[in-house]
Amino acid sequence: MKKEEKDQFIKTLTEQLNEANTLYLADISALNADATSQLRRLCFKRDIQLQVVKNSLLQKAMERSDKDFAPLYGILKDNTSLMFCQNVTEPAKVIKEFRRKHAKPLLKGAYVMEMLFIGDHELDALIAIKSKEELLGELIALLQSPAQNVISGLQSGGGKLAGILKTLSEKN
Q: What is the pLDDT along the chain (172 residues), one digit of tens a residue?
A: 788 888 899 999 999 998 888 899 999 888 899 999 999 999 999 999 999 999 999 999 999 998 989 999 999 988 899 999 988 899 999 999 999 998 889 999 999 888 889 999 998 888 888 777 777 887 887 777 776 666 666 666 556 666 676 777 777 6
Domain boundaries, the chain: 3-129, 131-172
Q: What share of the chain is helix, strand, coil (3-state, %, to 5)?
A: 60, 15, 25
Determine the number of helices (DSSP H) and then strands (DSSP E) in the chain.
6, 5
Instruction: Please state the pTM of the whole predicted model.
Output: 0.74
Choose the CATH number for 3-129 among 2.30.30.100, 1.10.1200.10, 3.90.226.10, 3.30.70.1730. Answer: 3.30.70.1730
Omega before 91 cis (within 30°)?
A: no
